[in-house]
Amino acid sequence: MPTPESLARNRWLRWLGPALLHPRLWHSNRRGIALGVGIGVFFAFILPVAQIPLSAAASVALRANVPSALAATFVNTPLTFGPVYYAAWRVGSWMLGEDAEGRAPPPLPGDTSARDPADQRNFWQRGVDGMASVGKPLMLGALVFAVGFGTLAYALVSGLWQWRVRRKRQQRRLRQTRP
């Protein structure tokens, strides 16, 4: 796990300066850890790039635990991007009332299979057209996933933390009442 000093020296996070060294950002408590995990999961699903710097910046702004936010961004890895963003596209298409049932998303600009080589000059235009057709449903679905899974992660961590504290208190009381 990175130290506060190493993150403060990181070229992507240097702009956060001394705020990144605030002790509350590195202390383990229920609110900080749960909020950090929620922030990390949110950024893991909303964007496929710059997840770690954005989650660190949001953690500093919201006074959440930075290490838990950074670690939680890894719930969506390059191995899971494809299925996750396909599911997000399907959810977004459904929410927008588009019929995504039984069809694949439009080909991305890098897909040159079954195309005439002379058609390569329109590469950028096809890319813009492809992103326009995928963009709205994908971004809406990704936003729904980010908010939903981020909130769920916050609630789960907070709930498990509270359950564990209550359980330890009960066990302590039981030990004290036994002769």
- pLDDT tens digits, one per residue of 112-164: 555 555 555 566 676 667 666 778 888 999 999 999 999 999 999 999 999 99
Identify the pLDDT of residue 91: 92
Handedness of CA 22, 23, 27, 29 (dihedral sign): negative
Identify the pLDDT of residue 9: 76
Identify the pLDDT of residue 118: 54
Identify the pLDDT of residue 130: 67
The radius of gyration of the chain's CA atoms, rounded to the nearest angstrom, is: 22
CA-to-CA separations, 148 to 27, 78, 152, in angstroms, rounded:
26, 20, 6
d(CA 102, CA 124): 27
CA-to-CA separations, 91 to 47, 76, 78, 97, in angstroms, rounded:
16, 17, 20, 10
Q: What share of the chain is helix, strand, coil (3-state, %, to 5)?
A: 75, 0, 25
Whole-model pTM? 0.74
Identify the pLDDT of residue 131: 67
Identify the pLDDT of residue 28: 83
Identify the pLDDT of residue 98: 81
Q: Give the three-class secondary structure for 47.
A: coil
d(CA 148, CA 130): 27
Residues of the chain with pLDDT under 50: 109
d(CA 40, CA 29): 16
Joined tokens for residue 179: 């002769």
